[in-house]
Structure 1
Amino acid sequence: MINTQLLNPKSIVVVGGSDDVQKPGGKVLKNLIDGDFKGKLYVANPKMDQVQGIASFKNPKELPQVDLAILAIAAKYCPSTIQLLAEEKNTRAFIILSAGFSEENEEGAKLEKEIINIVNSVGGSLIGPNCIGVLNSNYNGVFTTPIPSLDPKGCDFISGSGATAVFIMESGVPKGLSFSSVYSVGNSAQMGVEEILKYLDESFDPKTSSKVKLLYIENIDKPEMLLKHAASLIRKGCKIAAVKSGGSEAGSRAASSHTGALASSDVAVDALFKKAGIVRCYGRDELATVASVFMHPELKGKNIAVITHAGGPAVMLTDALSNNGLDVPHIDGEKANSLLAKLYDGSSVANPIDFLATGTAEQLGDIIDACENDFEDIDAMAVIFGSPGLFPVYDVYDLLDEKMKVCRKPIYPILPSVVNVKDEIEHFLAKGRINFPDEVVFGNALSKVYNTPKPQSEKIDLPEMDMKTIRRVIDESENGYLAPEKIHMLLDSAGIDRSKEGIVDTLGAAKVLAKEIGYPLVMKVVGPIHKSDVGGVVLNVMNEETVISEFDRLMKIKDTYAVLMCSQHSGTEVFIGAKREDKFGHMVLCGLGGIFIEVLKDVQAALAPIANEEAVEMIHSLKSYGIIKGVRGQDPVNEDKFADAITRVAALMKVAPEIFEMDLNPLLGNKDAVVAVDARIRIEK
């Protein structure tokens, strides 16, 4: 738990403080001194009477009572030191910079557990071990640099890696990005990223709290906590971006279903972030750039004016925006001609608005005013202005700052000449502004922010279904794949449309069932995993003669012990699947079905439960959505029924969490119906 002693200590002791600022104990002490910590500062060092001008206690027992202890000593000495401080010095907050704990070996893990028990026994806060520390407006409790500019309106940054936290700050600080607080959680022995975010949510004050949160995560141990509090913060007006590393899977793994092959843990991370409204980033510079976008007014529409005095960067930015779903619309008409008359010959206002390398600050002001007041279709402006090094550009950047103060539309400054006009950019950043030095990185980041959905509804009503029958089927079933008749009961109880079918193992029974179902029908082998690969699927069976001949052939296929017969439906093949992912619950996936799922791997995923609007968004986000809408005279898939089936599969997962994997592949969709014609369900209790 986070307490006052951690956030705003009145006294701090650095255990292992040193004169050597190239060691963690020395550097953290220097940072505390340089940061002008207002409380009482102590050092515990068995060999020295004074360290960096601060009185040193050779024996920790001689220390006065102290709120926060920052430990930079060998791991083996940490438990006894913490016990002494907790029991005798009323210390209730601890930051352990030291390594050598659970990240190293089993013995270190035992030391870590011992420390947790001590801290928890007194209701204390523990950050680390194996971290760089904590940084906020009250104290510089980190042993690293840079110490970024601290501003209540800056970013709250939580990192699972100390070194990565440093590198991300190094990426952001030169751009002008400011920070409100930094938490390096290290091994997350007591508190990880999720717990810190929970605190930021529960303590959020719309008047004083930062509205930008950045996360670097290596392991999501508590996805439900992360989802709940990230979504809550975003609903309160915050913006959150995160890097989740470790998403690739080396090599391939055997999977018994299409869903199993497609639903990796990284897909679950994507689904969680989408549901929460978190902007997912994949690198340090991207995270810092997205954070910089967050620091500007929110983009309300997709039409961007690209204002430039250099053609190449404008073209590259236009490509980046256009390729990611934003627009750089053509500008023309009387007001455009009026603006053009104020610019030098050779300029263009068609968008990109190019006012040439000789363009002036006054002309830039005219362009911004026109985009703000005259061009109603424009939602934001990206201003590219560097310099070939011929003359200073202070006047341009001063004007840009003034326009950003008064314009209601967002203005994004792209100042690429970080060498030629270094002094002017520093002058601009000193005003509290942020620079986007690379137009393509900016364009991709802005698009990602704009395209990230808002958090899904906190309360999702499950569709009506026969829960009693569902539970009876699950409770009576053993682990493994369910028999077709049990699958039918589950689908029917969940309200998921399916084709009429039955399973037979004798020719006589096949003839009777064919008459009951009616022609045309489909015959499939029961037993082999991939039916089509072994020639185990027969379509367009129109008469009893074909039933007789195909039944005999199918029963001779290896591993076949019966034949499934079902009514044949027409339509586009689509797919819905579900998989239980450790800690995340169930993922539900949708896409085109049949062989297309293997070839295209075009799927969208969401975490159960799923609201109808989220299901619709999943369908619309498919690259193959054009096929689902209907193309070149082909019937469309009924999107309402497709979305309803997705929500019902998701609801089934909540009622029957014992379902490990489920495939509905394919469902046949046309303008009237979406019907499951093949299904597999695997139970793991």
Structure 2
Amino acid sequence: MTAVIDPPRTAPAPDVVRRILDTAKSEGRSALTAPEAKELCDLYGIPVPQEGVAKTADEAARLADGMGYPVVLKIVSPQILHKTEAGGVIVGVNSADDVKSGFQTIMDRARQYDPNAELIGVQVQQMLKGGQEVIVGSITDPSFGKLVAFGLGGVLVEVLKDVTFRLAPVSRADALTMLDGIQAAEVLKGVRGAKPANREALADIIVNVSNLVNDIPEIVELDLNPVFAREDGATAADVRVVLDFEPKAKRYLPSQDEIVRQMNRIMKPEAVAVIGASSEDGKIGNSVMKNLVNGGYQGKIYPIHPKADEILGYKAFKSVKDVPGEVDVAVFAIPAKFVAQALTEVGEKKIPGAVLIPSGFAETGNVEGQDEIVAIARKYDVRLMGPNIYGFYYTHKNLCATFCTPFDVKGKAALSSQSGGIGMAIIGFSRSTKMGVSAIVGLGNKSDIDEDDLLAFFEQDDNTQVVAMHCEDLKDGRAFAEAAKRVSKKKPVVVLKAGRTSLGARAASSHTGALAGNDKIYEDVLRQSGVVRARSLQDLLQFARGIPVLPTPKGENVVIITGAGGSGVLLSDSCVDNGLSLMAMPPDLDTAFRKFIPPFGAAGNPVDITGGEPPTTYKNTIRLGLEDERIHALILGYWHTIITPPMVFAKLVIEVKEEMKAKGIEKPIVASLAGDVQVEEAAEYLYDHGVVAYPYSTETPVAVLGAKYRWARAAGLL
């Protein structure tokens, strides 16, 4: 399939846009009037009804006569954004007399609603008939910047909250995915005899709204609600545009080359200085030194201490400035009040990275102290990790730059956490499951280095195959999304976003803003960026462990082979929950499976071989599942029996897997083992040999397979 590339474009009539904005700014307004908003819509090809603004009742009647009945009357006032709440909207007006009385009613209601509001007049608008009501809009998120929204519209928009978001600017392909990204997507296709909505017309509006808000930074919220979507097109019945003229501070963002250069020196250093190194047990500086030494780090270690001559057999220096030669990273193990001075010396020594373990900064309310160290870092071009972190590991350099215990199981999974407690859970899980890691990184307050910096490093790190991240917020969500979109084409990126159960959306001037619950934005933008989202810490850890084990599937057809009907039902449910497609069994393949199972078993999908079958039945059905090219992944449901004990099952699975691998056939296989405690050893054996297996769970193995599939789809590999 050829990719659709949106043609280049030029912003229309910048002089007209400037005039509209300058007028609003000079009048101290934070919103455009309806006529101004219509003028912008006309410039950007957003269809709106015929309309005009009347300052008198007679003028309103003349306008209505000219465009034909019925019409809608709406108050025009810079101060009254929510017209319906003010009683400032009357629909279905069918005669000149009714227009005149409606004009007066609206003006009276508006004066009562806000006696100080400037009443410009009444907008007379052609009334639209028929079609599905949808909303198209935009908000400006503090982290992600401009977002475009699409959803079910009308008066119930904030009740139903059926809306989806994308980063602006959106492509036409993005716009079309938005139409399918709401729960009511089927309604747009026409239900109960209704005509389907014109998808191309809706996509046009979404793209044009995206262009509009992307061209004009001052627009912070925009609503087209409702948009009437019909078979022959789509028209926005009401337009609301909210402005903010305050200049926005730009975030410090080094170039990609600069990020990679400095991150490589920090993560893979040849020389490490420990500021606050100590010989005294129980001190953080002592733990860091011991971990560097006992972890097997082969680079140079320089303890920094104002009085000591030697620490743990290494020559100590009073300042990093006294160290001979280059230092790549300095690990801080001193109280917060001493960090600024020591960081200045790090900058003067031209050390590119500082790992700030100390707490006592923004997390305790000391924002000023954190701002001070960031300013020092900017002055000397030092990248800061932390503060308030446990440090980091990079196992392929045997580097344990942390006060936590050394970690020595090398592997391909890189993990990070914003929380120290979650970091300890990552370390414990990795050690318990023998999950090999390339890196474990604490980010803490994220005064400087954050997730997108790590992604830039892990993207080019040959020792990393999957990146799993815990975060409580994204300091620069747009930078992260751009990095994740790039990296996820090559390597899976898994994110556990804490705080997804927000109690409500922020206060907003538009319907779109009110719909933008923080987690809904994260959900849609992470998906748009190709990120695999974890719903729990257990998901994050299991995905990080399992995704690198599974080969990438070549298609969507999944088959379940189970020795227990009950497991088959639960595994099927899990497939639905994880977006997996159970293959509709072709007749010839159904016949082939039936050759190996008893008459009272069940082919189809799941393939139920029943629990009383010998090992050969498992072996034959699994071999068939791997051999047939129409099947792309296998889910195995094992039931503990005397005839086929757990380890017998595990070894035969690996035997068949290796037999097929020798023939060039590799497919993802996951397994659920139900039985007594012996299934634990069997599951471990399977996992160690490339089959993602779990005892006592039908949900987890399927979730891991689902995560692999979500990544493969987003990366365009299926």
TM over 0.5: yes
- Taking a change above 3 Å as real, the CA distance of residues 247 and 421 of structure 1, as seen in their structure-2 partners, is closer
Alignment partner of 1:371 is 2:621: no
The residue aligned with 2:363 is: 103
Consecutive unaligned residues in structure 2, runs of 5 or more = 1-258
Distance 1:435 1:20 in 2: 45
The residue aligned with 2:557 is: 303
Q: 1:12 aligns with which of 240, 258, 272?
A: 272
1:600-623 CA-to-partner distances (Å, cap 9, x unmatched) read: xxxxxxxxxxxxxxxxxxxxxxxx
Shift of 1:60: 6.0
Q: 2:421 aligns with which of 163, 184, 195?
A: 163
Distance 1:23 1:357 in 2: 58
- Taking a change above 3 Å as real, the CA distance of residues 349 and 284 of structure 1, as seen in their structure-2 partners, is same
Distance 1:244 1:311 in 2: 36
The residue aligned with 1:440 is: 699
Distance 2:671 2:529 in 1: 29
The residue aligned with 2:300 is: 40
- Taking a change above 3 Å as real, the CA distance of residues 419 and 82 of structure 1, as seen in their structure-2 partners, is farther
The residue aligned with 2:472 is: 218
Q: 1:81 aligns with which of 342, 359, 378?
A: 342
Q: What amino acid is the match of 2:368?
A: K
Q: 2:633 aligns with which of 369, 380, 396?
A: 380
Distance 1:92 1:417 in 2: 54
1:622-637 superposed matches below 5 A: none
Shift of 1:309: 3.0
Q: 2:384 aligns with which of 111, 115, 126?
A: 126
Equivalent residue of 1:103, what SS? helix
Distance 2:498 2:383 in 1: 26
The residue aligned with 2:446 is: 188
The residue aligned with 1:264 is: 517
Distance 2:318 2:566 in 1: 64
Q: What amino acid is the match of 2:296?
A: D
1:512-565 CA-to-partner distances (Å, cap 9, x unmatched) read: xxxxxxxxxxxxxxxxxxxxxxxxxxxxxxxxxxxxxxxxxxxxxxxxxxxxxx
> Do the aligned partners of 1:360 and 1:396 also contact (CA within 8 Å) in 2?
no
> Do the aligned partners of 1:70 and 1:95 also contact (CA within 8 Å) in 2?
yes
> Do the aligned partners of 1:96 and 1:131 also contact (CA within 8 Å) in 2?
yes
Shift of 1:34: 2.9
Shift of 1:72: 1.4
- Taking a change above 3 Å as real, the CA distance of residues 291 and 436 of structure 1, as seen in their structure-2 partners, is farther
Q: 2:330 aligns with which of 42, 46, 69?
A: 69
Distance 1:266 1:436 in 2: 30
- Taking a change above 3 Å as real, the CA distance of residues 251 and 389 of structure 1, as seen in their structure-2 partners, is farther
Distance 2:283 2:564 in 1: 47
Shift of 1:334: 5.7
Distance 1:306 1:359 in 2: 16
> Do the aligned partners of 1:20 and 1:27 also contact (CA within 8 Å) in 2?
no
1:388-537 superposed matches below 5 A: 393-405=646-658, 406=661, 407-415=665-673, 419-431=677-689, 434-437=692-695, 438-447=697-706, 450=709
Equivalent residue of 1:306, what SS? strand
Stretch deviating more after TM superposition (5-14 or 58-67): 58-67
Q: 2:498 aligns with which of 245, 249, 260?
A: 245
Distance 1:269 1:97 in 2: 29
Consecutive unaligned residues in structure 1, runs of 5 or more = 458-685
- Taking a change above 3 Å as real, the CA distance of residues 424 and 317 of structure 1, as seen in their structure-2 partners, is closer
> Do the aligned partners of 2:558 and 2:632 also contact (CA within 8 Å) in 1?
yes
Q: 1:30 aligns with which of 290, 311, 318?
A: 290
Stretch deviating more after TM superposition (33-42 or 293-302): 293-302
Distance 1:453 1:8 in 2: 30
Q: What amino acid is the match of 2:439?
A: S
Distance 1:20 1:344 in 2: 70
Distance 1:300 1:5 in 2: 38
Equivalent residue of 2:364, what SS? coil
The residue aligned with 1:315 is: 569
Q: What amino acid is the match of 2:302?
A: Y
> Do the aligned partners of 2:505 and 2:518 also contact (CA within 8 Å) in 1?
no
Distance 2:292 2:544 in 1: 27
1:613-628 superposed matches below 5 A: none
Equivalent residue of 1:13, what SS? strand
- Taking a change above 3 Å as real, the CA distance of residues 429 and 252 of structure 1, as seen in their structure-2 partners, is closer
Q: What amino acid is the match of 1:322?
A: V
1:163-192 CA-to-partner distances (Å, cap 9, x unmatched) read: 223324544555554322222221112211
Q: What amino acid is the match of 1:318?
A: S
The residue aligned with 2:253 is: none
Equivalent residue of 1:195, what SS? helix
Distance 1:125 1:354 in 2: 57
Distance 1:382 1:101 in 2: 49
> Do the aligned partners of 1:198 and 1:226 also contact (CA within 8 Å) in 2?
no
Shift of 1:411: 1.2
Q: 2:532 aligns with which of 272, 279, 286?
A: 279
Shift of 1:10: 1.9
Q: 2:353 aligns with which of 73, 84, 93?
A: 93
Q: What amino acid is the match of 2:514?
A: A
Equivalent residue of 1:383, what SS? strand
Equivalent residue of 1:435, what SS? strand
Aligned residues: 446
- Taking a change above 3 Å as real, the CA distance of residues 293 and 8 of structure 1, as seen in their structure-2 partners, is closer
Distance 2:667 2:687 in 1: 20
Shift of 1:370: 0.8
Question: What is the Cα-based RMSD across aligned positions, in Å?
Answer: 3.5
- Taking a change above 3 Å as real, the CA distance of residues 453 and 211 of structure 1, as seen in their structure-2 partners, is closer
Distance 2:560 2:341 in 1: 62
Q: 1:179 aligns with which of 419, 437, 443?
A: 437
Distance 2:642 2:361 in 1: 53
> Do the aligned partners of 2:264 and 2:457 also contact (CA within 8 Å) in 1?
no
Stretch deviating more after TM superposition (413-422 or 117-126): 413-422
- Taking a change above 3 Å as real, the CA distance of residues 196 and 415 of structure 1, as seen in their structure-2 partners, is same
TM-score, with length taken from structure 2? 0.55
Equivalent residue of 1:221, what SS? coil
Equivalent residue of 1:95, what SS? strand
- Taking a change above 3 Å as real, the CA distance of residues 86 and 432 of structure 1, as seen in their structure-2 partners, is farther
> Do the aligned partners of 1:276 and 1:454 also contact (CA within 8 Å) in 2?
no
Equivalent residue of 1:385, what SS? strand
Shift of 1:101: 1.2
Distance 1:53 1:359 in 2: 64
Distance 1:216 1:339 in 2: 43
Stretch deviating more after TM superposition (271-280 or 392-401): 392-401
1:57-91 CA-to-partner distances (Å, cap 9, x unmatched) read: 56766644433221111111122223334425x53
Equivalent residue of 1:259, what SS? helix
> Do the aligned partners of 2:294 and 2:406 also contact (CA within 8 Å) in 1?
no
1:430-450 CA-to-partner distances (Å, cap 9, x unmatched) read: 446643443213334544554
- Taking a change above 3 Å as real, the CA distance of residues 19 and 244 of structure 1, as seen in their structure-2 partners, is same
- Taking a change above 3 Å as real, the CA distance of residues 85 and 244 of structure 1, as seen in their structure-2 partners, is same
